Structure 1
């Protein structure tokens, strides 16, 4: 007998959080699952903790491998999975006890390709509930085209699509394999965004459990998600090029504007986080110039109408469009006159 759900957890140096994560799955009201712990070359005691869990519960499987980052770890889990559905959980997060019962009931009742819930963003001393600006309930293929294709890659307000956090989704494994939906293993930042867009595109049935905050996302300010990293920019460029290849020539829907807004998001994000790069003023100025004058940034503004955002954000975008490097550093990074304009990516999935 195969389990209903395969829970895939990439594990890397999380000995302080792993028990909380795994225990939250073992304490589910729904118990027909397997847990696949992918120890991605941890240097602390995480691998040993994984093995201890496997010895205690036959539903827990462990893969030990050299570090290849989260995308490869999740793909390893997908290939090993035996369940009808798969779920991804980050190893420093945890889930509420009724999550899988609530999601599997709808998934089975409606024979869904995937189902999505909401999440709580957990800080050390408080939490924020996060939901998506789409309606709750069932979506047919026609509904998905009419209501979700407009935000499949990026909302007009420069916000990520509903599926940006793959860990709030329960996905039909046959659906993933049929459509060859796997993570791009050479992308180590924002890898959820590409797969999430493909999931929406190929789905024929989807259900949104709005206001069901089952998932607990632990906010770590030291995460690479929330700090400047020079490698991010190269990853962002690669992501946008692959989106162009996959969606840019689509004949049933024009995704070109969303791809441009996605590139604009990446540009804003990278420039905004330069404040935290630790570089000196001259190096920062050179980096701003390098980004603003990049050909892919210039392409954004070819026949491009400004998105529906605040006036402060529009000013920031115009500074980029007209490559006003010094003005950007003065008024945006230094927060003068225009107020706080730096752009963060807190909704990006956490990376190793």
Structure 2
């Protein structure tokens, strides 16, 4: 089998059909779709079962809620394809785009191929602006690029796990898996950086395959009492990686920038939480500051 598409699913009944239908439009490809229901409380679990009953290439698993990272790991351990693609269940894929991507990684014997993405703001499509280099940066430079959102001078982004196709054998050989998002925020960045530090054979597919959707109600836009703690743990993990691997000043700047963004978002969500009393908000902010010491 060429490809396993792993889709973590959690309370996305409004968008799940769009995601699955986009995956079913892929032609000239031997592939499977693995839907992992992470303990959804809405109709997502039933939607998964309906599609699995209807299409032989779809398998649905139901499990207790653990978060995105561990749910991706769950799908990985059950994948049968030579290559792996992660798709978030509120996003979607360009029609008939994956067979060309698989051909490219296969013919060039690559371990990972990064590709472009567009943004879908509730139906308003913004074209992606990734400009991938013709000359491949060294593996430390690539690892540093994974540590957060792009800086002003960055011409492309490779941090999100859904922005690449992977050789599954390379992942298994190097034991590269996701941390729990309940411990480390944005666990994608650590996964991608660890992958690059294992010196894979890297390629760039200069087409926009993926549609990242800003649906307003994502985890990033909602209050999470553990977000600040997760951001601190993420920064400490990045800091250790940067120092151990000597990733350089740009990696430090990217990690610092990512940390400040996460802290500001945490404070914003905390202050704007109408259900929390003012004195509790102040106490929580003090607690966050103490954690940073």
Matched, 1:232 2:239: no
- Structure 1 vs Structure 2 CA RMSD: 2.8
Q: For structure 1, list consecutive stretches of 5 or more residues without a partner in the other structure.
A: 297-352
**TM-score, with length taken from structure 2:** 0.86
Secondary structure in 2 aligned to 1:98? coil
Equivalent residue in structure 1 for 2:192, among 196, 199, 202? 196
Cα pair distance change 1:158/1:282, threshold 3 Å? farther
**Structure 1 residue 242, shift from structure 2 partner:** 2.3
Q: State which drifts further: 238-247 or 176-185.
A: 238-247
**Structure 2: stretches of 5+ with no match in the other structure:** none
Counterparts of 1:328-347 in structure 2 under 5 Å?
Answer: none
Larger radius of gyration between Structure 1 and Structure 2: 1
Give the 3 Å change call, closer, same or farther, for CA 138–38 of structure 1 in structure 2.
Answer: farther
Count of residues paired in the alignment:
287
| In structure 2, distance between residues paired with 1:196 and 1:294 | 26
**In the superposition, relative to structure 1, how do residues 56 and 295 fare at CA in structure 2: closer, same or farther (>3 Å)?**
closer
1:169-209 CA-to-partner distances (Å, cap 9, x unmatched) read: 10010011111110002436311111111122223311112
Displacement of 1:153 in angstroms is 2.6
Q: Deviations over 1:7-59 (max 9, x none)?
A: 00011112221111111111112331011110111112211221121112222
Corresponding residue for residue 266 of structure 1: 259
User: 1:69·1:188 contact (CA, 8 Å) conserved in 2?
Assistant: no
CA shift for structure 1 position 145: 3.3
Distance 2:285 2:261 in 1: 11
Cα pair distance change 1:10/1:174, threshold 3 Å: same
Q: TM-score, normalised by structure 1?
A: 0.72
1:249 alignment partner, SS class: helix
1:70 to 63, 68, 71: 68
SS in structure 1 of the partner of residue 77 of structure 2: helix
Q: Is 2:142 aligned against 1:144?
A: no
Determine helix, strand or coil for the equivalent of 1:21.
Answer: helix
